[in-house]
Chain A
Amino acid sequence: MRELRSALSALLSHWRRRPGQFVTLVLGLSLATALWTAVQAINSEARSSYDRAAEQIGGADRPTLEKADGGPLSMRDFVRLRRAGWLVTPVLEGRLQRGRVILRIVGIDALTSSVGPLEFGGGSAETPYDIGDFLGENGVALAAPQTIAELDGVPDLPRLVAQADLPPRTLTVDIVAAQRLLQRPSAVSRLVLLDPQTEAAAPLEEVAPDLKRVDPQTGQDLARLTDSFHLNLTAFGLLTFAVGLFIVHGTIGLAFEQRRVMFRTLRVLGVSLAQLMTALALELAALAILAGTFGVLLGSVIATLLLPGVADTLRDLYGAQVSGALGWRADWWASGIAIALLGTAIAAAGSLWRIRSMPILASAQPRAWAMASSRTLLLQLVCGIGFLALAGVVLILFSGLVAAFIIIALVLVGSALLLPPFANRLLDVGQSLVGRFGAGAVTQWFWADTRQQIPGLSLALMALLLALAANIGVGTMVGSFRTTFVGWLDQRLASEFYVNARDAEQGERLQAWLKERTDAVLPIVEIEATLDGRNGAIFGVADHPTYRDNWPLLQQVDGVWDIVARGEGALVNEQFARRSELSLGDPIEASGLPATQVVGIYSDYGNPAPQVMVGLKQFSELFPQVPQQRFAVRISADRVEELKNAVSSEFGIEERSMIDQAAIKQLSLSVFERTFRVTDALNVLTLAVAGFAIFTSLLTLATMRVPQLAPVWALGVTQRRLAVLELARTALLALLTVVLAVPVGLVLAWLLLAVLNVEAFGWRIPMQVFVSDWLRLGLLALLAALLAAAIPARRMAAMAPADLVKVFSHER
């Protein structure tokens, strides 16, 4: 114990003497841990929201009864079943927009519902309530305290009563109140079967032959639906963690090399190898816990900043309600510390192994740091090619989200491993060329010396390559997506004006009124439906040139619009076609829809759910209960404002129920931009970590450069010129990395667009390249590398000759 304590204190004294190195190590590991923790915290918060939603009184996790023909349920069905002795409770769910807030409304029957954790009674001292206050059309709404705070000042809502553990942005009300709020009188979304049922009740086939029992579909829950999004975040967290590990690996490797004399001395003075290894492990664990704690704190700050954006994205994309505020959870704290420990162990494993196998009498002089032999370069080349080949095999043989991420990981790691041998070869060619053209001695030395620096800088350059490739890849994906999305919006939102009526009766009047004053009125009708086992929607589409000329069809049969108008075929969205492997001519399985076949496939970005479009006439026949309340209106753009005012004064329709084409495009684009805001933020952070890796590597290498530069200085090259050459060398290596990162980034973009997006969302976007973005990124990387090199270069230029001379007197 005494020996261990003494050894540990000697080891730790190294950091006291080199605080900069200590800060680099802790900061590197903290940064790596921070982004991982941020992602874990966000995922944890989201999953906790999903869990709360699943536990909710909606009874989504229980068997339900539905109409066998997919038609709508009503309160009559509920009454019929209860009278027959069936223990069921009705639930009505829907979305309600109030101002800019979209709320999930869950209507229940408090008297029959025994599902979920609701407490009918209590409230606060100021706002007491009992079950009587809950019942009826104007009853109170239960909501999470944070939701109530969010809804402060929002008009047209019931009285809100706080109840903990309810999901965010969700109001639980009596079913009658829900029917009023959602303007769906007598509607019921599902009849939840309670447990246990009375044995005396007659069988369902006798009581209600038009109903069927449906077991809960776990595959449809939010957690499953949003898995791809969270996997995406996790992958980014891991990528940044990997980049951060390059810093930690470099710093730990350097610290071990610098302490080789100390290790030998400790062992000579009587510290056994086992004691030394234990002391080193303890030292590393202490550093990891310290850095992990910093990382978790930093990560929670990042998560707090990103979470509102993530919550918006999840709501826009999946309709998932996630709290925008971060709660402290033990799981991501533990995960952060564990990943810091694991990262340190990975980063230090090689160094520890070298110490373990180092003979006690081995030269204690620090070896040339990370001097790579041609064998190392060959090994990197073979491993890199092997990883890329393996990625190809996985791409051909496997499918699914996890396989897509494995391919991306293999491509990134493989490419990073190929960087040092490629850069070495390119510099070799450069050296030969300058030799052939009779360059001066300094130029020749410059190329040879640059090549010699690759081993020491390779980890930092690999980190830079990963960050740049991720930036180019994700940038290309988002850019391609944006360009396609804008074009798609132009097609999809061809109408100049969109208006929502308050109810069916007003809808009827509005449609008649608009027909007289505009070029065309196109009703937009939809109904929720189960499409091949997944929740989706069926739309009715009017027979009009607006759709014939603009609708973004990816595939179609001849005369597609005529067929749809006649009710002889249907259109499906791309994600439905891909997930259910539907092609033109295939039959569609959809609740409430008679046998029909696919006659066209349209792109439908920003929506992961399946959709079917049938002719408006057929829709009205199949679903007569769905009123025509929403309309797309064709009118010349300069008359939109005038029409809006006229609709407002004639029907009293509020501003928020009307929107023109420009505004809806703006809204859609803002949703799009928000979706990628988190990705952009993680991208920037990854690049920042890589920049830090370059900076620390150059700083640490600078301390070892003096013995390499002093002889050149002694032979007559000025310190100033040496400093300029150092800057040029860094610029050259950074430029090489940027050039090699472009093809890797493009491969990554292709994988994201053609593999990952298709797996995650069900749509594929054509890839486009953005050369100006690469140039900007390249310049940024170059600037970062030059800034990082500036400090050591300046130090070189200003170094006292006496310090350079020390190299020759062996006093360093």
Chain B
Amino acid sequence: MLIDAQNVHKSFATQDGALPVLRGVDLQLAKGETLALTGESGSGKSTLLYLIAGLDCVDDGTISVTGRAVHGLDDSGRAELRRDAVGIVFQQFNLIPSLTVMDNLIFHARLAGQEDQAWSEELAERLGLAEFLRRYPEQLSGGQQQRVAIGRALAGKPDVVLADEPTGNLDEETGEQVAQLLLDLVRDTGAGLLVVTHSQRLAERLDRQVHLANGKLA
């Protein structure tokens, strides 16, 4: 299993006390599998994705990614996991504004020591970014920025790609194109893909979908 989450609990402190968001979630993702995680706003989809990425810590339960127990890792260990095994795509793109498109594209792979010049060039070509490589993110449209973010997530050939509403900030047509590119590239690399999305159309294009409601998978 690429991802194996067992009985995951997570709550957040509010003025009215602890607010439980996840109440014993179990989730698995196999190698090469694509999985959509859907649910209402505030259902805890993004929280679960962040827990799997090691961006936050579980209150209870276990999560392992590529066999590594995320819940047992310290900050450095979780950073190493994200660096070496996980590619992440956000709704807000989160590119580094002071780096060029090319530098952003290869940044994660370089960080992981897995830079592959030929693969980076192929990614740039397939993502339609070849002519924008010397530009800066602010000079690109939203769709183009998200393609850079997808390229960055895949440049290091990670075992698993986590995407949080990757088309949420894009218009329908651009969203379609970006989603297709993401799916094609993930399949070509053989990575697993977990996508948090509101879009039923995107969810239906994936191998499997699970729905999160009231803190549990339906």
Q: Per-residue 0/1 for A1-35: is the Cβ within 8 Å of any B Cβ (1 yes, 0 no)?
A: 01100110010011011100000000000000000
Q: Is the CB of A267 within 8 A of B50?
A: no
Question: Is B157 an interface residue, CB under 8 A from the partner?
Answer: no
Given A2-B113, A6-B110, A6-B111, A270:B97 Cβ within 8 A: no
Which residue, of B78, B92, B96, has the highest number of chain A Cβ atoms within 10 A? Answer: B96
Per the bound structure, the CA–CA distance linking A270 and B78 in Å amounts to 8
User: Among the listed B94, B97, B98, B111, which residue makes an inter-chain contact with A264, where contact means beta carbons less than 8 Å apart?
Assistant: B94
Question: Is A779 an interface residue, CB under 8 A from the partner?
Answer: no
Chain A interface main SS type: helix
Give every chain A residue within 8 A of B56 (Cβ-Cβ): 360-361
Q: Inter-chain contact count A-B, CB under 8 Å?
A: 78
Per the bound structure, the CA–CA distance linking A273 and B103 in Å amounts to 22
With both beta carbons as reference points, the residue of chain B lying nearest to A276 in the complex is identified as B79
Per the bound structure, the CA–CA distance linking A264 and B94 in Å amounts to 8
Give every chain A residue within 8 A of B95 (Cβ-Cβ): 265
Given A10-B96, A13-B103, A268:B75 Cβ within 8 A: no
Give every chain A residue within 8 A of B88 (Cβ-Cβ): 268-269
Per the bound structure, the CA–CA distance linking A264 and B55 in Å amounts to 10
With both beta carbons as reference points, the residue of chain A lying nearest to B46 in the complex is identified as A361
Chain B interface main SS type: helix
Question: Is A717 an interface residue, CB under 8 A from the partner?
Answer: no
Give every chain B residue within 8 A of A149 (Cβ-Cβ): none
Q: How far is the CB of A178 from chain B (nearest CB, A)?
A: 71
Question: Is A364 an interface residue, CB under 8 A from the partner?
Answer: yes
Question: Is A688 an interface residue, CB under 8 A from the partner?
Answer: no
Q: Per-residue 0/1 for B104-127: is the Cβ within 8 Å of any A Cβ (1 yes, 0 no)?
A: 000110111100000000000000
Query: Which residues in chain B, 31-71, are within 8 Å of chain A measured between CB atoms?
Result: 50, 53, 55-56
Give every chain B residue within 8 A of A10 (Cβ-Cβ): 96, 98-99, 107
Question: Is A274 an interface residue, CB under 8 A from the partner?
Answer: yes
Per the bound structure, the CA–CA distance linking A364 and B113 in Å amounts to 26
Q: In the complex, which range does the number of interface residues on chain A fall in?
A: 20 to 34
Could you tell me how many residues of chain B have their Cβ less than 8 Å away from some Cβ of chain A?
Answer: 31
Give every chain B residue within 8 A of A275 (Cβ-Cβ): 76, 79
Q: Is the CB of B96 within 8 A of A268?
A: no
Q: Is the CB of B50 within 8 A of A17?
A: no
Q: Is the CB of A2 within 8 A of B111?
A: yes
Q: Is the CB of A270 within 8 A of B98?
A: no
Give every chain A residue within 8 A of B98 (Cβ-Cβ): 10, 13-14, 16-18, 262
Q: How far is the CB of A570 from chain B (nearest CB, A)?
A: 76
User: Among the listed B94, B97, B112, which residue makes an inter-chain contact with A268, where contact means beta carbons less than 8 Å apart?
Assistant: B94
Question: Is A271 an interface residue, CB under 8 A from the partner?
Answer: yes
Q: Per-residue 0/1 for A251-282: is the Cβ within 8 Å of any B Cβ (1 yes, 0 no)?
A: 00000000001101111111111110000000
Give every chain A residue within 8 A of B9 (Cβ-Cβ): none
With both beta carbons as reference points, the residue of chain A lying nearest to B85 in the complex is identified as A270
Q: Is the CB of A268 within 8 A of B136?
A: no
Q: Is the CB of A270 within 8 A of B50?
A: no
Per the bound structure, the CA–CA distance linking A441 and B52 in Å amounts to 52
Give every chain B residue within 8 A of A7 (Cβ-Cβ): 111
Q: How far is the CB of A359 from chain B (nearest CB, A)?
A: 8
Q: How far is the CB of B207 from chain A (nearest CB, A)?
A: 25
Per the bound structure, the CA–CA distance linking A364 and B103 in Å amounts to 21
Q: How far is the CB of A281 from chain B (nearest CB, A)?
A: 17
Q: Is the CB of B75 within 8 A of A274?
A: yes
Q: Is the CB of A265 within 8 A of B96?
A: yes
Given A13-B96, A261-B94, A270:B83 Cβ within 8 A: yes
User: Among the listed A6, A261, A272, which residue makes an inter-chain contact with B97, where contact means beta carbons less than 8 Å apart?
Assistant: A261
Question: Is B10 an interface residue, CB under 8 A from the partner?
Answer: no
Q: Is the CB of A271 within 8 A of B99?
A: no
Give every chain B residue within 8 A of A360 (Cβ-Cβ): 55-56
Question: Is B26 an interface residue, CB under 8 A from the partner?
Answer: no
User: Among the listed A262, A272, A273, which residue makes an inter-chain contact with B96, where contact means beta carbons less than 8 Å apart?
Assistant: A262
Q: Is the CB of B83 within 8 A of A269?
A: yes
Q: Is the CB of B111 within 8 A of A274?
A: no
Q: Is the CB of B112 within 8 A of A270?
A: yes
With both beta carbons as reference points, the residue of chain A lying nearest to B87 in the complex is identified as A269
Q: Is the CB of A17 within 8 A of B76?
A: no
Give every chain B residue within 8 A of A361 (Cβ-Cβ): 50, 55-56
Given A10-B99, A261-B97, A364-B94, A270:B80 Cβ within 8 A: yes
Instruction: List chain B positions with a Cβ less than 8 A from chain A.
Output: 50, 53, 55-56, 75-76, 78-84, 88, 90, 92, 94-99, 103, 107-108, 110-113, 136, 152
Interchain residue pairs with CB less than 8 A apart (14): A3-B83, A17-B98, A261-B94, A262-B98, A266-B96, A267-B79, A268-B94, A269-B107, A270-B80, A270-B84, A271-B83, A273-B79, A360-B55, A364-B94
20 additional contacts (CB under 8 A) given A262-B97, A270-B111: A2-B111, A2-B113, A6-B107, A6-B111, A10-B99, A10-B107, A13-B103, A16-B98, A17-B98, A262-B98, A264-B94, A267-B79, A271-B79, A271-B83, A272-B78, A272-B80, A274-B75, A275-B76, A360-B55, A361-B55
Among all A-B residue pairs, the 7 with the closest Cβ atoms: A270-B83, A272-B79, A13-B98, A270-B82, A17-B98, A272-B76, A14-B98
